[in-house]
Structure 1
Amino acid sequence: MTTRLINPTAEDAHWQLSFRTEPYYRAGLGYDDYGPAYRVGYTAPLRRSGRFDELEDTLRLDWERVKGRSRLTWDEARGAVQAAWARVCDEEVLAA
């Protein structure tokens, strides 16, 4: 896994513009629902070492701690977390 410098402002801006076009997006939900999941995904490589599939249980705990008022369950947030992780780590997103 190669991690580059992560600009949280740029990552947040990217996901705000594109979250509705992602395959896991659920109509009627807003960025307030998805934003925390993206933040878990794009900041995790700064705190964690390994592949997404190896760290999924830990990332789920991270999600539960920071989700705030998001209406997503882990199963719904997982795709956003993985997409943000993959974007900053230059990894391919694998099907669940």
Structure 2
Amino acid sequence: MQFIYPINFVGHDEWMESGYALNLSSGDVITRDGVVLGKWRVAAYNPEFDHEGGQYEFIADGQDSISFSEGFGVLDSRANRGFALSNLTRKIKQLYDAEH
């Protein structure tokens, strides 16, 4: 699998395309070079109510608890989700850069 972004959320596009299916709301977070950084997931949302929010969560590899989270106000708003995902990505990249 080829990764084009510095930080990639594997399965995120499939989750969105599915209509926010609960069983697809998580996946790996991997660098462009194939380094697994941890897992992402979307929590506190209901796919039946896409006008409500939720939150993205990141769990660093080897950890049991959430390292970072970012809430969004409207599930079916690309802008709301995009802003939250952008903030989460920045935090993950800063953590990765600080460790390397």
Higher helix share: 1
- TM normalised by structure 2 equals 0.29
Higher relative contact order (CA 8 A, sep 6+): 1
- TM normalised by structure 1 equals 0.30
Rg comparison, structure with higher value? 2
Higher strand share: 2
